[in-house]
Amino acid sequence: MSQKNAIRKGCKDIWNAFMCEGADFTSHSKNDIPFCPTTATEIPKDIITWDEAKRLYRNALARKDKHFFCNAFICWFIDDYKFDGPRGAWHDCAFVLNVLRHFAGAITPDFSTYQDFPEPLKIYNTYRMRAFGYWLGKNGIAVINNVRWGSRETWSYCWDGIPQNSIVAIGTVGGSPRKHIDRKRFEEGLEELVRILQPHTIIVYGSANYPCFDRLIDQGIKVIAYPGCTASVFDERRRSI
């Protein structure tokens, strides 16, 4: 019996299993987290948030600009409620893909792995980052992996599914490492990231003005920071291109 015929009539894929069709689950993970290749071949010229991207996209639709293109990567370094949930990016991924086709690429969604989250939820959100990114790459989007870690127990899975010696992205616009109480955890995780993934480039959305990044630069790793900017400022910059 074929796999298609084995599926019970009327079943619906409410878990987005389709995103992982053809994915490698074994070579880069012991936790069934899919491998997400880095499909971006260039460093982003700019990075804007999903909120900003939606605004630019809808403005383009309003002026009937079907060929609208913005030379920036989209990131999700924003509060989860702004992009996750019943009507969020995971459940309305077709809309996300339609928007992304008008931009240069994407950093994989930043589904949170807060320290006080139950461990199964943190693993699931790590899985979703890679699954979403893998699916975007299959659909022709230039993808850079976002790396999100929590306390030490997340180290057993938070690097899974990310290629070595590639470009990775992290966000510093939230609590870490701005909050002194979280700085040691952040720095230890960053060191482990470098040890495991050996990236040649680390993109930082937010400030990289911390000694831990200076040490990485001294090791020969390229660190590129993209300060957050408002959509209105970005609009002005886009008009000059």
Cα–chain center distance at 51: 14
* pLDDT grade for 116, boundaries at 50, 70 and 90: confident
- Among residues 196, 145, 195, which one has the least CA distance to residue 168? 145
Residue 233 pLDDT > 60, yes or no? no
Q: What is the pLDDT of residues 69-100, one digit of tens each?
A: 999 999 999 998 899 988 899 999 999 999 99
Q: What is the pLDDT of residues 7-60, one digit of tens each?
A: 677 788 888 999 999 999 988 898 999 999 999 999 999 999 999 999 999 999
* pLDDT grade for 6, boundaries at 50, 70 and 90: low
What local confidence, expressed as pLDDT, does residue 175 receive? 61
Q: What is the pLDDT of residues 125-143, one digit of tens each?
A: 999 999 999 999 999 999 9
The token pair that represents 230 in the structure block: 């408002």
Contact of 143 with 73, CB cutoff 8 Å: no
* pLDDT grade for 237, boundaries at 50, 70 and 90: very low
Residue 167 pLDDT > 70, yes or no? yes
CA gap 220, 213 in Å, rounded: 11
Q: What is the pLDDT of residues 176-209, one digit of tens each?
A: 677 777 899 999 999 999 999 999 999 999 999 9
* pLDDT grade for 234, boundaries at 50, 70 and 90: very low
Contact of 108 with 143, CB cutoff 8 Å: yes
**Can you spell out the DSSP letters for 12-74?**
--TT-GGGGTT---SSS-SSSPPP------S--S-EEEHHHHHHHHHHHHHTT-TT--EEEEE
Residue 236 pLDDT > 70, yes or no? no
Across the chain, the runs of DSSP E, i.e. the strands, are 47-49, 70-75, 103-107, 143-146, 167-171, 201-205, 222-226
The secondary structure element, H or E, covering residue 238 is: helix 231-239
pTM summary value: 0.89
What local confidence, expressed as pLDDT, does residue 135 receive? 98
